[in-house]
Copies of this chain bind each other. A is one copy, B any other.
Amino acid sequence: MSQSVTATSATESLSLSELTALLQQIFERHGTSRAVAQVLADNCARAQRDGSYSHGVFRIPGYLASLASNWVDGQAIPKVEDVASGFIRVDAANGFAQPALAAARELLIEKARSAGIAVLAIRNSHHFAALWPDVEPFAEEGLVALSVVNSMTCVVPHGAQKPLFGTNPIAFAAPREGASPIVFDLATSAIAHGDVQIAARKGHLLPAGMGVDKQGEPTEDPKAILDGGALLPFGGHKGSALSMMVELLAAALTGGNFSFEFDWKKHPGAQTPWTGQLLIVIDPSKSGGNSFAQRSAELVRQMHAVGLERMPGDRRFIERAKSLEAGIPLGVEELAKLRALAE
Q: Which residues of B contact A287 (CB under 8 A)?
A: 89, 121, 252-255
B-contacting 9-mer, from A2-10, A36-44, A159-167, A330-338: A159-167
Are B123 and A289 within 8 A (Cβ)? yes
Chain B CB count within 10 A is highest, among A156, A182, A249, A306, for: A306
Q: A245 an interface residue at 8 Å Cβ cutoff?
A: yes
| Known A159-B310, A253-B144, A295-B252: A119·B117 in contact at CB below 8 Å | yes
Q: A70 an interface residue at 8 Å Cβ cutoff?
A: no
Question: CA A213 – CA B296 in complex, angstroms?
Answer: 29
Are B157 and A308 within 8 A (Cβ)? yes
Are A84 and B286 within 8 A (Cβ)? yes
Are B239 and A174 within 8 A (Cβ)? no
Interface string of A293-312 (1 = CB under 8 A from B): 00110110011001111101
What residues of chain A have their CB less than 8 Å away from a CB belonging to chain B?
Answer: 81, 83-87, 89, 91, 114-119, 121, 123, 144, 156-157, 159-164, 170, 172, 174, 182, 184, 186, 188, 234-239, 241-242, 244-245, 247-249, 251-256, 258, 260, 280, 282-284, 286-290, 292, 295-296, 298-299, 302-303, 306-310, 312
A-B contact pairs, 13 of them (CB 8 A): A84-B283, A84-B286, A87-B116, A121-B288, A144-B248, A157-B303, A157-B306, A160-B308, A172-B241, A182-B248, A234-B235, A234-B238, A252-B284
